[in-house]
């Protein structure tokens, strides 16, 4: 069939819809084939899989035949019952024969040293070339990212950028309004776009990012690959005290468990923050002391030059 295009040579809306429908149909068939093969490989009768997953035998039969448009929730139940990750059932690569899937699985369970070695081998460019002279400060609010980042930028004549300010400039509204209008998912999309923009426009810079960015794997991996990342640490008490010193009483207001929640967040993110190239603990240091030591760190490690 001849493709219908508009005057600029672009695909028509009808052609786009046809392509989308074909893609959806292909996905449904692929999911059914994967579920059937996974069930057969494990020697599980469909009736038993139905009991394990809570999905009816009739619906499972339709699913395996490529006729069941299953919801994400039900598919996750089936995946758990089959002891598979849901992405194995929906991805384009065959989970039993794909080298890419096998490498991803091995990478996921490898220790940090092995992961870094693998990235060095697979990266199309040397890590130092990708990172240029870009430094990114990560860590929870109150660690000193904004204060120390601004001073460091001035000292080495490098622009200092707060990622949230970049998001606000591009969106034309405060981050609080972005969250209210678009939710966490919308904010994360804008955050990822902002990271890509600053990489494209700065070879040398100091970037401060929000503490939760480490929970977004793709965005955080982009930071790790394109920036010399430094985890600014502090004790939970100092994190809280510094936020309150900025005039923000919200962390403690009406929440007697705020400190325990902060400790829990720190614990849950410790491994992610630990992927940074360097760590710097600001606990017990004055602003001047912390700045001097941070400056020495980035210069000694060759992250920046004066």
Annotated binding site for Mg(2+): 146
Which residues, in sequence order, are CB contacts of 123 under 8 Å at separation 6+?
130, 225
Contact of 71 with 27, CB cutoff 8 Å = no
Q: Locate tokens 């794909």: which residue?
A: 98
Known binding-site residue numbers: 142-147, 188, 211, 250, 269
Residue numbers in the known binding site for substrate are: 188, 211, 269
What is the C-alpha separation between 126 and 124, in angstroms, rounded? 7
Instruction: Enter the DSSP assignment of 211.
Output: G
Where residue 258 falls (left for φ over 0; alpha for ψ -120 to 50; beta otherwise) is alpha
- CA distances (Å), 171 to each of 5, 23, 164, 175, 176, in order? 32, 32, 10, 9, 12
CB within 8 A of 145, min separation 6: which ones? 137, 138, 139, 208, 209, 232
Q: Using DSSP bridges, classify how beta strands 278-281 and 160-162 pair: parallel, antiparallel or unpaired.
A: unpaired
Binding-site positions for ATP? 142-147, 250
State whether residue 280 is helix, strand or coil. Answer: strand
Residue 174 and residue 168 in contact, taking contact as beta carbons nearer than 8 Å: yes
């Amino acid at each position: 069939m001849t493709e219908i295009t508009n005057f600029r040579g672009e695909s028509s809306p009808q052609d786009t819809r046809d392509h989308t429908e074909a893609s959806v149909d292909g996905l449904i068939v692929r999911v059914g084939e994967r579920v059937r093969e996974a069930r057969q490989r494990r020697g599980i009768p469909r009736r038993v899989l139905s009991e394990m997953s809570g999905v009816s035998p009739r619906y499972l039969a339709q699913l395996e035949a490529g006729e069941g448009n299953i919801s994400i929730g039900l598919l996750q139940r089936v995946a758990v019952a089959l002891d598979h990750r849901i992405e194995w059932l929906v991805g384009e690569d065959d989970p039993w024969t794909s080298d890419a899937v096998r490498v991803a699985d091995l990478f996921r369970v490898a220790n940090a040293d092995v992961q870094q070695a693998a990235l060095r081998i697979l990266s199309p460019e040397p890590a130092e070339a990708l990172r240029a002279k870009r430094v990114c400060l990560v860590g929870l609010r109150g660690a000193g990212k904004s204060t120390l980042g601004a001073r460091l930028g001035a000292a080495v004549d490098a622009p200092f950028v707060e990622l949230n300010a970049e998001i606000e400039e591009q969106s034309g509204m405060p981050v609080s309004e972005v969250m209210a209008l678009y939710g966490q998912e919308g904010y994360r999309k804008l955050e990822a776009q902002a990271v890509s923009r600053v990489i494209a426009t700065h070879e040398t810079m100091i970037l401060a990012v929000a503490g939760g960015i480490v929970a977004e794997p793709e965005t955080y991996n982009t930071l790790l690959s394109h920036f010399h990342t430094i985890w600014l640490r502090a004790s939970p008490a100092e994190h809280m005290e510094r936020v309150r010193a900025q005039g923000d009483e919200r962390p403690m207001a009406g929440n007697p468990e705020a400190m325990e929640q902060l400790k829990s967040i720190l614990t849950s993110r410790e491994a992610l923050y630990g992927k940074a190239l360097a760590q710097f603990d600001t606990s017990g240091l004055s602003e001047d002391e912390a700045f001097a030591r941070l400056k020495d760190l980035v210069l000694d490690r060759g992250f920046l030059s004066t």
